[in-house]
Amino acid sequence: MSELKMKILELLKEDARRTAELIATMLDVTAAEVKQAIAEMEQDHVIVKYATVANWSKVDDEKVTALIEVQITPERGRGFEGIAERIYLYPEVKSVYLMSGAYDLLVEVEGKNLKEVASFVSNRLSPIDAVLSTKTFFILKKYKQDGIIFEEHEVDQRLPISP
């Protein structure tokens, strides 16, 4: 990927609401070039979506997130793909990773409460034929996610005027 696209991506990653004009000024290129690059990245699915990083713990109806280690028997010919797909299509599944090490898939599941997540694991995940075992870990607090520190406030401790 071009260096320009890389830089645009970094600036959008920091703040997806930045306009093409602002980015163009920051990178010393034209707004048209920025728009073109963004369009291409959207087309190529480099930019998949513009989303908001929310700190859900500050929202009243708090959500419960669990990470589940899943051991599976791979399918002949398709390996892990088919089962991964069966799992990631559930809307309560937020992410699925194929892992090296002691288990195969790491599945992130989000629910309204503990019961909901537990019932997903016992009624949906575990009964899948290829699933050998699951281990569920509930997330108690998020400190940092996707490089963003949750509790970090932008307090400027500098004197308003200095040499």
Partner 1 sequence: MIKDEERSMNATVRRASMADYLAPGARSMKPSGIRRFFDLAAGRKDIITLGVGEPDFVTPWHVREACVYALEMGKTQYTSNAGMPELREEIGNYLYNQFDVAYDPAQEILVTVGGSEAIDLALRALITPGDEILVPEPCYISYSPITSLSGGVPVGIETFAEDHFKLKAESLKAAITPRSKVLIVCYPSNPTGGIMTYEDWLPIAKVIEENDLIVISDEIYAELTYGTKHVSLASMPGMKDRTILVSGFSKAFAMTGWRMGYACAHPELISAMLKIHQYTIMCAPIMGQVAALEALRNGKDEKDRMVEAYNQRRRLIVHGFREIGLECHEPQGAFYAFPSIKSTGLSSEQFSTRLLNEANVAAVPGDVFGMGGEGHLRCSYATSVNQLTEAIERIGRFVDKLKAE
- Rule CB under 8 A: choose which of 3, 28, 60, 129 binds partner 1: 28
Of 51-59, 72-80, 142-150, 151-159, the window that binds partner 1 (rule: CB under 8 A) is 151-159
Beta strand segments in 11-81, E: 64-72
Closest CA to 56 of 7, 83, 94, 8: 94
Q: With binding defined as CB under 8 A, does residue 11 bind partner 1?
A: yes
Q: With binding defined as CB under 8 A, does residue 160 bind partner 1?
A: yes
- Rule CB under 8 A: choose which of 3, 60, 129, 156 binds partner 1: 156
Residue 32 is inside which H or E element, if any?
helix 31-43
- How far apart are the C-alpha atoms of 158 and 95, rounded to whole Å? 40
Residue pair 107/124 in contact (Cβ under 8 Å)? The answer is no
Q: With binding defined as CB under 8 A, does residue 153 bind partner 1?
A: no
Nearest to partner 1 of 14, 81 (CB atom) = 14
- How far apart are the C-alpha atoms of 64 and 111, rounded to whole Å? 5
Q: Which two tokens stand for residue 6?
A: 């890389």
Instruction: Report in angstroms how near the CB of residue 53 gets to partner 1 at its nearest.
Output: 16
Instruction: Give whole-number Cα distances, 63 to 53, 56, 72, 98, 119, in Å.
Output: 14, 7, 27, 24, 15
- Rule CB under 8 A: choose which of 4, 12, 27, 41 binds partner 1: 27
Closest CA to 112 of 58, 61, 54: 61
Of 24-32, 46-54, 75-83, 136-144, the window that binds partner 1 (rule: CB under 8 A) is 24-32
Instruction: Report in angstroms how near the CB of residue 27 gets to partner 1 at its nearest.
Output: 7
Instruction: Report in angstroms how near the CB of residue 161 gets to partner 1 at its nearest.
Output: 4
Contacting positions for partner 1 (CB under 8 A) = 11, 15, 18, 22, 25-28, 154, 156, 158-163
